[in-house]
Amino acid sequence: MKRMKRERTIKVASKEQAWEEVNRIFPTDYDRDYASSKRAGYDIYRHRCLNPYTRICDLGNRLEVLLGEYGKTVTNIWIDGPATR
């Protein structure tokens, strides 16, 4: 059975607005996963009890929010502001 990913894109003007969108999308509180962040080279945030595929990745010019089993729902929040150009 093939897993279908649902993807959504949001554009905002600042990092602050991007995190406001994350707080609307992500189901609960989250903390930085230091071990995963170190391995990946960018910040990764997770909830301690949710499945490990549910996460937020801070990729600099966008935040990627993955929800559900195997991250099947992906929301990319693109930051189009002066700090990311």
Position 81 scores a pLDDT of: 73
pLDDT band (50, 70, 90) for residue 83:
low
Give pLDDT, residue 4. Answer: 65
Q: pLDDT tens-digit profile of 14-70? A: 999 999 999 998 878 899 999 999 999 999 999 877 787 889 999 999 999 998 776
DSSP, residue by residue, the chain: -PPPPEEEEEEESSHHHHHHHHHHHSSS--EE-HHHHHHHTSEEEE-SSS-TT-EEEE-SSEEEEEESGGG-EEEEEEE-SGGG-
Q: Which residue from 5, 8, 12 is spatially nearest to 80, judged by alpha carbons? A: 12
pLDDT band at 82 (very low <50, low <70, confident <90, very high): low
Domain definitions of the chain by residue range = 6-84
